[in-house]
């Protein structure tokens, strides 16, 4: 094995888990791999202030790469995001330092879309309630609803939103969408209608969030938006926890302003102490959207290539800064 040329910190909790050979490839390429030193969770800013000096590259998940952290990283050449969300990285600070930031778009959209439909079906048919009832020795027949002819409103018609639209149509759903940068050609080819966010909220039987956190200054879905939805509507969030005012959502669910919610993303993860955990009309998953072996393989391969290119001074496959 060649002598290490670069030191690389692994911040991402999932990089190398399903495919440890990705870590081996880093070493074979001349990297000294520094494992996650905080129990597998994301690094906080104060922890990175101590961990990053002397490090040439970081593979990051949701680590707090603030301006102060980036400016204190004396040797940092590249930040390789293992995923697509960039809200925990101060991009301007990285740009000013000449640090290359990359991400891995297009590697997990099918996995996230699959989970979106899984949450929707679990809510529509009371799968979790029925499972828990049977496990307790019960045999209650819960009534659900069909998806056929229902309206699916997609907020954010990017790669994931489009994949969800195709899956929804396979169940016979009508698709409407809101996006500040509408892909009108794709929408026309796939029988998707663009509407305003207000129109989507009032018309949709299911509202599915696939927007970037940067789409709004604050939560995109708050008390007013929840009040505009149908009382029979379901809300699905497999995007970012910051898109939803969780306190307002808990109130809306408790008061049956909407029928239910399927949540894979939260403001604080895990959502310890959240009032949402007390409700029976919510289905939760632990930010599993991209956690399939298929997505992890593709995401890991792209992240690895991005990092090595950044270390070598070459353009990554998908450069952000």
Least confident segment among 230-234, 283-287, 289-293: 289-293
Scanning 212-291, the segments in alpha helix (DSSP H) are 223-228, 246-254
How many beta carbons lie within 10 A of that of residue 205, not counting itself?
20
Which residues, 6+ apart, have CB-to-CB distance to 180 below 8 Å? Answer: 215
How would residue 2 be classed by pLDDT, with cut points 50, 70 and 90? low
Q: What is the mean pLDDT of residues 299-321?
A: 97
**pLDDT computed for residue 84 by the predictor:** 86
**Distance of CA 2 to CAs 26, 31, 32, 306, Å?**
11, 9, 10, 20
Q: What is the mean pLDDT of residues 44-52?
A: 98
Q: Which residues are catalytic?
A: 240, 269, 287
pLDDT tens per residue across span 144-165: 999 999 999 999 999 999 999 9
**pLDDT computed for residue 216 by the predictor:** 63
pLDDT tens per residue across span 69-89: 999 999 999 999 999 889 899
Any idea of the CA torsion for 111, 117, 123, 125, to the nearest 10 degrees? -120
Q: What is the mean pLDDT of residues 206-214?
A: 89
Mean pLDDT of all residues in the chain? Answer: 96
**pLDDT computed for residue 158 by the predictor:** 95
**Distance of CA 189 to CAs 113, 159, 166, 173, 193, Å?**
19, 15, 11, 16, 10
Encoded tokens for 25? 């490839």
Domains of the chain: 6-107+292-312 (3.40.50.720), 109-284 (3.40.50.720)
* Helix, strand, coil tally for the chain in percent (to 5): 40, 15, 45
pLDDT tens per residue across span 244-257: 999 999 999 999 99
**pLDDT computed for residue 218 by the predictor:** 80
3-state secondary structure of 213: helix
28 burial type by CB count under 10 A (0-12 exposed, 13-18 middle, 19+ buried): exposed
pLDDT tens per residue across span 98-119: 999 999 999 999 999 999 999 9
Q: Which residue, chain included where needed, has tokens 């970037």? A: 212
How many beta carbons lie within 10 A of that of residue 95, not counting itself?
14
How would residue 235 be classed by pLDDT, with cut points 50, 70 and 90? very high
How would residue 187 be classed by pLDDT, with cut points 50, 70 and 90? very high
**Distance of CA 100 to CAs 91, 96, 311, Å?**
9, 10, 9
3-state secondary structure of 176: strand
């Amino acid at each position: 094995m060649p002598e290490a040329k670069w030191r690389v910190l692994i911040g991402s909790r999932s990089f190398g888990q399903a495919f440890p050979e990705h870590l081996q490839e880093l070493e074979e390429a001349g990297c000294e791999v520094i494992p996650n030193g905080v129990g597998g969770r994301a690094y906080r800013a104060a922890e990175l202030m101590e961990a990053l000096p002397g490090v040439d590259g970081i593979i990051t998940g949701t680590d707090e790469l603030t301006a102060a952290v980036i400016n204190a990283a004396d040797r940092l050449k590249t930040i390789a995001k293992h995923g697509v969300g960039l809200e925990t990285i101060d991009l301007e600070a990285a740009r000013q330092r000449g640090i290359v930031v990359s991400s891995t778009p297009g590697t997990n959209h099918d996995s996230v879309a699959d989970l979106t439909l899984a949450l929707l079906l679990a809510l529509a048919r009371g799968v979790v309630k029925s499972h828990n009832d049977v496990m307790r020795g019960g045999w209650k027949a819960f009534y659900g609803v069909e998806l056929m002819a229902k309206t699916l409103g997609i907020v954010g018609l990017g790669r994931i939103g489009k994949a969800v639209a195709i899956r929804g149509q396979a169940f016979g759903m009508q698709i409407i969408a809101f996006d500040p940068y509408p892909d009108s050609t794709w929408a026309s080819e796939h029988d998707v209608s663009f509407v305003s966010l207000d129109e989507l909220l009032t018309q949709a039987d299911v509202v599915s969030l696939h927007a970037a956190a940067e789409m709004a200054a604050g939560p995109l879905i708050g008390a007013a938006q929840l009040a505009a939805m149908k009382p029979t509507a379901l809300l699905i969030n497999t995007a970012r926890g910051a898109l939803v005012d969780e306190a307002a959502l808990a109130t809306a669910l408790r008061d049956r302003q909407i029928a239910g919610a399927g949540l894979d993303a939260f403001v604080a993860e895990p959502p310890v102490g959240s009032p949402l955990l007390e409700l029976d009309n919510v289905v939760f998953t632990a930010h599993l959207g991209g956690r399939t072996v298929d997505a992890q393989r593709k995401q890991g391969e792209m992240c690895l290539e991005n990092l090595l290119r950044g270390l070598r001074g070459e353009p990554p496959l998908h450069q952000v800064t």
